[in-house]
A and B are shown apart, each in its own frame.
Chain A
Amino acid sequence: MKKASIIPVAVVALTALAFATVNAYRVPTVEHSFVDARPATVATVEYTVEGLKCRGTSLGFARQIAGVPGIVSLTTYARTRTGVVEYDPTLTDPEAIREAFERPIVQDGKSYDVFRMLSARVID
């Protein structure tokens, strides 16, 4: 039965390996560009957002911020509830973007609070 202990060891080791290497497979849930030509200056802010949990909600998030002047691109990672937004700092700022995605979504006459910022980090 000594060789049988390979099974639990393999299960634990491979599960640990999956968790340890998961970021090596990191692929965005959604990558969306809002502009044809990038502006001269671009800043980046990374939000952690409650409600950002899949491709569908990522596209909803994109629709929420699409109307903000100066938005350049959006990249989301649903597993970590992360939305990385590139913007033109001469036209908008992280607070205006937050206000845009946190505004309620009206559907069939009802209002839904879908997204709520948990944290924000200006990258550059």
Chain B
Amino acid sequence: MRALRTIFHLAVLGGAVALLARGMNGLTPNTCETYCPFGGVAALYSLIRYRGYTCALSEMNVAMLVSLVVLTLVAKKSFCSWVCPLGTLQEWLGRLGRRVFGRWFRIPDGIDAWLIGLRYVALVLVLGLTWTVWQGDLGFRAYDPFYILFTWGGHETLRLSFLIVVGVLGIALVVPFFWCRYLCPLGAVMDPLSRFGALRIRRDSGTCIDCGVCDAVCPHRIPVSSVEEVTARNCTNCLECVVECPEEGALSISLCGK
């Protein structure tokens, strides 16, 4: 399953790079943001206000958002660990950092709980500014590492933008999924839906030997060994805990509790 996920990562990342190359050569007007589901959230303003789309948003963003909502209800935040190219880069950098430094840096629980709230602040800020000050314009592009990176400094990016990308990717070396965990506004949109995701990791307490490997390998700091079923909003179904579990059958995937 890990190999299959890697294939997905390479396919999506390859697609994003190919799109970037085609755009740079004038072969397509589309950029990575054409397919970004967060664009669907941002588009709600213009759809209500103008009955149209602002900036480069289109029905593709809305279609992607609808698909994302369904996917999250089926498989929690699988989008983050199977599709999102920024998530992929952070995962790879996290692995590299672990190899180089021997471990991940763990932000203390109290600070972590506070920092997690930042993604809701980011969501409110981005949508609030988009729908008021920016009047539907995608002013957050200059601060969005996904847009800056996969348009290679596209429209509206600033010098500061590249520092943001370097910062986000640099921190991912020591704090896995820093952007996803603390700042991604799309993650905040998915949070309430993710709790209801039908496909979940299930732990058989009779088979589990309480070795704690699942807790150690979870990049999202979910205490898998202390629950019967992972309902945590942060679970991205990356399946690292299932793959690494030394006791066959202790961890499995359940669909609607079965």
In the complex formed, the residue of B with least CB distance to A49 is B29
Interface-lining segment among A4-12, A63-71, A91-99: A4-12
Interface-lining segment among B71-79, B114-122, B179-187, B213-221: B71-79
Chain B, range 39-74, C-beta contacts under 8 Å to A: 46-47, 50-56, 58-60, 62-64, 66-68, 70-71, 74
A85 in the interface (beta carbon within 8 A): no
Residues on B lying within 8 angstroms of A by beta carbon are 1, 4-5, 8, 26, 29-30, 34, 46-47, 50-56, 58-60, 62-64, 66-68, 70-71, 74-75, 78-79, 82-83, 136, 199, 237, 239, 242, 252-255
A37 in the interface (beta carbon within 8 A): no
A-B contact pairs, 14 of them (CB 8 A): A4-B1, A4-B253, A8-B4, A10-B71, A10-B75, A11-B75, A14-B71, A18-B64, A22-B59, A53-B29, A54-B56, A55-B54, A79-B34, A79-B60
CB distance from B145 to the nearest CB of A (A): 21
List the count of A-B residue pairs having beta carbons below 8 Å apart. Answer: 102
Count chain A residues whose beta carbon lies closer than 8 angstroms to a beta carbon of B. 33
A3–B254 CB distance below 8 A? yes
B82–A7 CB distance below 8 A? yes
A21 in the interface (beta carbon within 8 A): yes
In the complex formed, the residue of A with least CB distance to B5 is A8
Binary contact track A39-64/B, C-beta < 8 Å → 1, others 0: 00000000000101111100000000
Q: Which residues of A contact B68 (CB under 8 A)?
A: 14
CB distance from A7 to the nearest CB of B (A): 5
